[in-house]
Structure 1
Amino acid sequence: MKVILRPSHERGNADHGWLKTFHTFSFAMYQTAQHESFGCLRVINEDRVETGTGFGTHGHREFEIFSYLVDGELEHQDSMGNLEVLKRGDLQMTSAGTGIRHSEKCHGPNQVHFLQIWSVPSTRGLPPKYFTRHFSDDAKKENWVRVVAPADDEGVVEAREASGPAPVHSPLSLYATILAPGALRTHIFSTQASAGVGRKGYIHVIQKSGYNPASASGATVKISGKDGEKELREGDGAYLLVESGEELKVENVSDREAEVLLFDLE
Structure 2
Amino acid sequence: MSQVTIAPRFSQDRGNADHGWLKTFHSFSFAMYQDFNHEKYGCLRVINEDRVAPKTGFGTHSHREFEIFSYVVEGELEHKDSMGNIEVLKRGDVQLTSAGTGISHSEKAYGNKPVHFLQIWSLPSVSRLTPKYFTRHFSDAEKKDAWVRVVAPVNAEGVKGDLREGAKQGEGPAPVQSPLTMYATLLSPGKSLNQAIKGPKGYIHVVMRSGYNEGPAHGATISVAGHILKEGDGGYLQIPSGTDLVVENRGDRVAEVILFDLEG
Same fold (TM over 0.5): yes
TM-score tier by shorter-chain length is over 0.9
Partner of 2:57: 54
| Deviation, structure 1 residue 199 | 1.3
Q: Distance in 2 between matches of 1:22 and 1:251?
A: 24
Q: Deviations over 1:124-162 (max 9, x none)?
A: 000000000000000000410000000011210011131
Superposition CA RMSD, Å: 0.7
* Aligned residue runs from structure 1 range 230-249, under 5 A: 230-249=227-246
Question: Sequence identity, in percent?
Answer: 65
Q: Distance in 2 between matches of 1:251 and 1:165?
A: 24
Partner of 1:174: 182
* Aligned residue runs from structure 1 range 1-266, under 5 A: 1-158=4-161, 159-160=163-164, 161-190=169-198, 199-224=200-225, 229-266=226-263
| Deviation, structure 1 residue 247 | 1.4
Question: What amino acid is the match of 1:236?
Answer: D
C-alpha contact (below 8 Å) 2:200/2:239 kept by paired residues: yes
C-alpha contact (below 8 Å) 2:145/2:188 kept by paired residues: no
* 3-state DSSP of counterpart to 1:182: coil
In the superposition, the TM-score normalised over structure 2's length comes to 0.95
* 3-state DSSP of counterpart to 1:33: coil
Question: Which runs of 5 or more residues in structure 1 are unaligned?
Answer: 191-197
Partner of 1:194: none
Q: Distance in 1 between matches of 2:196 and 2:208?
A: 25
Q: Distance in 1 between matches of 2:158 and 2:181?
A: 13
* 3-state DSSP of counterpart to 2:37: helix
Q: Distance in 1 between matches of 2:78 and 2:30?
A: 22
Q: Distance in 2 between matches of 1:6 and 1:187?
A: 21
Q: Deviations over 1:55-110 (max 9, x none)?
A: 00000000000000000000000000000000000000000000000000000111
| Deviation, structure 1 residue 248 | 1.1
Question: Which runs of 5 or more residues in structure 2 are unaligned?
Answer: none
Q: Distance in 2 between matches of 1:96 and 1:124?
A: 10
Q: Distance in 1 between matches of 2:5 and 2:146?
A: 24
* 3-state DSSP of counterpart to 1:35: coil
In the superposition, the TM-score normalised over structure 1's length comes to 0.95
